[in-house]
Amino acid sequence: MKTRKLGLWLMTLLLSLALTAPVRLKAADQKKSDETADATPTAKSKKSKKEKAPKEEKAEKSEKAEKGSKRSKKDEAAKEEKAEKGSKKSKKDEAVKEEKAEKGSKKSKKDAAVQEEKAEKSEKTEKGSKKSKKDAAVQEEKAEKSVKSDKADSKTEGKLDLNSASKGDLMGMGLSADQASKVIEGRPWTRKDQLKSKGIVTDQEYQSLTDKMIAKQK
């Protein structure tokens, strides 16, 4: 009886094992598959991370380069702004210098005009002074000539003028009719001694007549 029960139990156990073996094998395969699946994503993850690292590095470098470029652009903009300010200042300084130069030129021209006007006035004054002196000299000369003429008239008073005397007056002075005619024909006379040099009178006759005659000039 016991042997029979044991046999039944063994048969049941074997049957149970036989029935559950495929399930266990399937479960084992599933577990292995799951483990493989779990391992594969890890490898993929590692590979992904490994691939991701250069990309991140590249992105980081690109970001740094972009930042550097932005900084360079900013510095360049600052330099351009500074240069523009310097250019504006230079233009302003140049404009101020030009304005000063123009003012200086205007002042120089004005001063030159004033000096020229003064010189012109001085020249006119000098000319006026010279003219006044010349007029004064002319008046003085005229007065002197008048005085000399008066003196000459006083000295020659009573003397016969060879350039205006008539033939009768000349004959009355002591000349012959022929000599008187020659004196009238030879007018005008500048000097009375020309009567002697022209052969109208002799030396002796000239000596006797010299105090009686004169050759007046108009």
- pLDDT tens digits, residue range 115-138? 888 878 878 767 766 776 777 777
Q: 3-state DSSP call for residue 172?
A: helix
Domains of the chain: 158-218 (1.10.150)
pLDDT for res 127:
73
Distance CA 141, CA 143 (A): 5
Host H or E run for residue 161: strand 160-161
Extract the tokens encoding 153: 């008239």
Residue with tokens 């030879």: 186
* Model pTM score: 0.32
Cα 103 from chain centroid (whole Å): 13
User: What mean pLDDT, rounded, does the chain reach?
Assistant: 79
Percent of the chain with pLDDT over 90: 27
For 201, which DSSP code?
A: S
Give per-residue pLDDT as tens, 132-157.
Answer: 677 777 777 764 654 354 444 434 56
On the question of pLDDT at 192 being above 70, the answer is yes
